[in-house]
Amino acid sequence: MGDKKIEIWHNARCSKSREAVNYLQEKAFEFETFEYLKEELTLEDLRGVLEKLNMQPAELLRTKEKVYQEQYADKKLSSEAIMKAMVKHPQLIERPIVVRNNKAVVARPLDKAIQFLAH
């Protein structure tokens, strides 16, 4: 694999996220885990991953989460406000995200990660 560094934005409580980590381990990929619920997440981190995903913040937002329903569902949020909400409440970020170099993919379902890593 050479210098193609892989990072996964991981939530250990999420079965899809665990599935992606297991796949990376089974296929012997070298990767780093970013546990964004436990580690510090900055706006710059989020902007960077959105750019690599080629997504808008609203596309990465988990609107069914309780915190979203209670605090944000009735508001019209700008992209900046969505990103600030995600940094404050990282559980609002769709997961898992697999990053390789300057590209990324939301690995739901796992097939998306498999295809992404095959190239």
Alpha carbon distance 105, 113 (integer Å): 7
Catalytic hit among 2, 9, 14, 17: 14
Respond yes or no: is residue 14 known to be catalytic.
yes
Instruction: Give the active site residues.
Output: 14
